[in-house]
Structure 1
Amino acid sequence: MKKERSMNKLIAEFIGTFTLVLFGCGAAVIAGDAIGFTGISFAFGLALIGMAYGIGPVSGCHINPAVSLGAVAAGRMEISEAIRYIGAQIAGAVAAALVLMIIMKGKLSGYDVSASGLGQNGWGAGYLGEYGVASAFVFEAIATFLFVTVILGSTGKGAPSAMAGLAIGLTLVVIHLVGISVTGVSVNPARSIGPALFVGSHAIGQLWLFVLAPVIGGVAAGLVFRTGTLDSEE
């Protein structure tokens, strides 16, 4: 029974991350010209809200390695379970990017993934607002810190748990509204890994930042909660 519950959590994390990447990156690639940055921001946030209520009762809806590692740092999760979660999350993101690529390659006019991308993250010349690596790193680390702070706070003791999914999803919307032009917004290593693997070359070369910065931000948020600084007084 315990093994079955563990597998259910991993399946939930796979589905949740798959949904986030397919609809978030899909909004950018398929509908970006029509809905703009605002629409893309809400696509990511609404996908997360849906999954928070859909799979939250099963796995907690981390769907993000930075969140799982933040939970470990906060003392809310064992590292062994977090590693399994991260594996499921990355698998879900890769599967979603593959499905998105298949859809885009079905365009009758053709689609060059290496040239047009799959909503991958990046920085520098030719990428959206053309911000430098320092700006990209600072944004990703701080945005992830604040994002994981909201997640840990809204799911902690004394928090109104029924509103957690909404608070978390809207926070992701705000992060995207501010940061899309900087990095395309990752705050989630799995979300970055999936598209980059299929786009290749430059996207893979920049992938280190979208793994390292979110992990630093997520773990830092977890450590703050571990100290009890942000614990509810109730």
Structure 2
Amino acid sequence: MSSIVKLLWAVSTLCEAVPLGQSLLSTPSSSDGRPSIYNSAVMARRIMHLSSIGTLVTTFPPASDEASVEETRPDSVAGSPIGLMEYFADCEPESGNPTLLAINLASPYKNYASGSKISLHIRWWPIQTKHYPIAEESDDIPTPHTPAALPRFSLHGRLEDIPQDEVRDKSIDKCFLKSHPDSQLWQPGNDIHTSKYVRFVVEQVYWFGGFGDRARILWLPMDVWRNVTMQEIEKVRLPGEE
């Protein structure tokens, strides 16, 4: 089968409707060889646990917003989405809610404070040293060598301040600094920016596991997302992991 035909066939499966049958929720893989819905959620939770950088997406408020005047923001971008790199850490793994260090002056947090919805995009990209051209015909080529075949997902929800006593009792700051030592410069109480720890309370998860012939593409059930255990996160392996 040619590479072009393979690619077209894979793309044709991307929008496939996936039933939420019990067998798909609970078994490691389904009859077609794809990971189950539950295992897809475990993979997503592992990606979030191992990763520390995502893309935070918000929309600009109306042009009449006070911040738009201060920033000399073009009126034409009102209501437009903007995605920017953002640090996060999995400091409350039992909850499935990532931790962010919010700087009040940063665009995503200003937009959110003005009423914008918010989402966090996270992707998996293992360290690779070789990429294969599309013209290569070997069926033995592992898909992790192309970013298009690797899993990614989008978290949708809301931000919630983490009280100071929780930051202290759960060592949230130490957890975050372990993933991002450079964030010491903008920790709460610094002399440059006003900042605070917030949790991204996950309300919906859109999972894009990769090519549709070997992965699932769907909205993950939230009870499944929240019930994933740390033991499962540590046990599962992602594409490209040893």
TM-score w.r.t. structure 2 length?
Answer: 0.24
The structure that has the greater radius of gyration is 2
Greater relative contact order (Cα < 8 A, sep 6+): 1
TM-score w.r.t. structure 1 length?
Answer: 0.24
More strand per residue: 1 or 2? 2
